[in-house]
Structures are given as structure tokens and as C-alpha cells.
Amino acid sequence: MRAPAVHRRRDLPDRVRIYEVGPRDGLQNEAAVVPTGTKVEFIERLVAAGLRTVEATSFVSPKWVPQLGDADSLFPMLPARADVRFPVLVPNLAGLERARAVGVDHIAVFAAATETFSRRNLNRSLDEAIEGFAAVVGEARKAGMWVRSYLSMCFGDPWEGEVDVSQVVDVALRLVGQGCNEICIADTIGVATPGHVHDLLDSLVGAGVATSDMAVHFHDTYGQALSNTLAALEAGVTTVDSSAGGLGGCPYAESATGNLATEDLVWLLSGLGIETGVDLEALVATSAWMGDQLGRPSPSRVVKALQERSAPERSEP
């Protein structure tokens, strides 16, 4: 398998933690329900490829996300690995209790940086949503759980337009104050550019949020996900979200297209000499397999390129 030439940059981190979201964010808005066994095999293949943080599912009501309605049965089927985290998304205290009942110890909550998206996605005002998360985060931390908070619409909102940096910082600080271990800065509709990424991350650091407590989550709507990832690495962030094969988007934001593909991210990081622990060949094979299960090819450029390169050459008749 072909690999990129390595050219190390001294101003970038030595290692990046990839937070794989394919099994949850990647599959959540698939029209056809994926069988539980297929989801488990997908996760097992991702772990075998070297991914050590794999967001497995969501304990949201099946009424809202039918695709993830099997969370209670899926989670106990995951491999017991001390070196692997399987975070799950929880929307409220009821979801938290369901997660605790099956042994979850890493959770994520989902906040928004804008009023409109909070009302459309969570059916609550921004203040009401943040207040609601306080109880979930507090109970989770008391139970010894690790807690991430997604912060969506950090760079732009389809209804409100560009989002002011200070607004994002204000909401992030409120979440940090509640006890979240990690804040994931999300470009939900993919409108960010590197300068905007630098400005926001620099402002968060200036407000007291350490880069070690941040993650980034970029969508590739305008083809900027890798550029924005590099900007985040330059700012000192070392946790990057991605989805195997580029699966997924946000079902509540119509202009949001696929997540950054994990294969594309690994290719970038490999070329920069940054360690990820991921076997690219195994990962490509996993995404190709998942594409077969879904009945369509992976949108990842790296998956396409490496599959085409490895295909047997055909002679002309």
C-alpha cells in the first residue's frame, strides 16, 4: 500500500488522538437501519485498525434517532479492552441512567453555540440547554465518568450566519465550569477557514481553556476540513474527530455534509510524521467493507485512491 512521504514539522505535536465518530455520528442519519451485529463488527474492525477512542452510539430516544435505538443492547456487545474508550452520547438524565445501567464510563453531551440551533436541535433555549446539561454532567462526574461536551455551530449557523467568537467562548466557559473534561469545537456546517480556526482557538486559550482540554470536529462541506485540522494542530490541539470513510453529517442541519474522513486525516498526519497508532490499510479495508454494507462506496478520497491503486490492472482486449 502506498504511503505519503514523511516531512516532519517541529511546530506540530508528536502524536494526535483520533476520536472516531463513525459508528455514532456517521450512522445516525442513515435511512435504512443498520443491524446491531453489523455495527458491532464495524466497531471491532475500527479497534483492530488501531483506533483507541470510538464513539459507539447514543442513548437518545429511538423516537428521535431510530438508527441508534439499539444502544442498550449494542454497548454490552463491545469488546472489553482496557486501552480502548467507547464514549456514548447522552441527551439528558434519562439517557445517562440508561448508559450507566450497561456500564458506560465515558459520555458526551451535545450543546450549541447559537440560540436558533439550540431550539431546533434540542427544543430548548441556549440557557435552558446549558442549565439542563449541568445536572447530567454533575451526575456523571459524581459517578466517576469522563465527560466531553460537543459545542456545535462554532463557526457558522445556517439561520444566524457567522457566529461571533466571543459567543462561542462564553458558552465553552460555561461548559468547562460545569466540569466537562473536554470541549469539542465543532464546525457543524463546514464553513470554517484556517484563520477563523486560529482566532477562535487563540481566544479560548486566552480565556483559560487549555488546548489539552479541547478537540476539534470539522465537516468537509466546502473542502476545508483538512486545512482547518492543520490550523488546529498549529494552535496546539491534539484531539481530532473524524469518521471512518467520511460517513455522516448532522440530521438537524440541512447544509451539513460529511465528516472529515478518518483515512484522509491519517494520510495527512502520517505525512507530517505525527503518530496516530492507526493502520491505514486496515482502516481502508474497514471503510470499504462498511460501504458494502450500506450499498455505496466510501466518499473518502484516500479510500478511493488506495482502492483504485490496489485493484488488479485490466488488460485491453
- Report in angstroms the alpha-carbon separations of 283 from 34, 108, 277, 300: 20, 24, 11, 11
- Report in angstroms the alpha-carbon separations of 88 from 74, 107, 120, 149: 11, 5, 22, 11
Q: Which of 284, 299, 291 is nearest to 2 (CA)?
A: 284
Say if residue 251's pLDDT is above 60: no
| Model pLDDT for residues 32-43, shown as the tens digit of each residue | 999 999 999 999
Identify the pLDDT of residue 122. Answer: 85
Spans of all domains in the chain = 17-303
The one-letter code for the residue type at 165 is V
For the residues 254-269, what does the mean pLDDT come to? 84
Q: Looking at the DSSP assignment, which residues form a beta bridge with residue 14?
A: none
Say if residue 316's pLDDT is above 80: no
- Of 154, 180, 184, 250, the catalytic one is 250
111 contacts: CB under 8 Å, gap ≥ 6: 118, 129, 130, 133, 149, 150, 151, 152, 171, 175
Identify the pLDDT of residue 2. Answer: 81
| Model pLDDT for residues 293-308, shown as the tens digit of each residue | 999 898 899 999 998 8
Q: Is 250 a catalytic residue?
A: yes
Say if residue 254's pLDDT is above 50: no
| Model pLDDT for residues 88-111, shown as the tens digit of each residue | 999 999 999 999 999 999 999 999
**Class of domain 17-303 (CATH, top level):** alpha beta
Say if residue 255's pLDDT is above 80: no
Identify the pLDDT of residue 311. Answer: 57
Percent of the chain past pLDDT 90, that is, above it, reads: 88
